[in-house]
Amino acid sequence: MFLKYSKRSKQFCVNGEESIFNSKVILVRAKRVLKSMWVERGRRTGEKTKMEKVDLAFTMAYTSGMNNVVPEFPKNPSPFAIRGRIRSFKYAFAGLWTMLKTQHNAWIHAMATAAIAVLGAFFGLSDWEWCCLVLAVMAVWTAEALNTALELLADVASPEFHPLVKQAKDVAAGAVLIAAIGSAVIGGLVLGPYVLRFLREALF
User: At residue 67, what is the residue type?
Assistant: N
Contact 91, 159 (CB under 8 A): no
Number of H helices, E strands in the chain: 6, 3
Residue among 144, 151, 160, 201 flagged as catalytic? 144
Report residue 37: phi and psi, to 5°: -65, -45
Residue 53 DSSP label: H
* Residue 18 known to be catalytic: no
Helices assigned H by DSSP within 46-162: 48-63, 82-102, 104-123, 127-157
Q: How far is CA 135 from the centre of its chain?
A: 21
Cα 155 from chain centroid?
A: 11
CA distance 159 to 57: 21
Question: Cβ(37)–Cβ(10) under 8 Å?
Answer: no
Residue numbers annotated as active site: 144
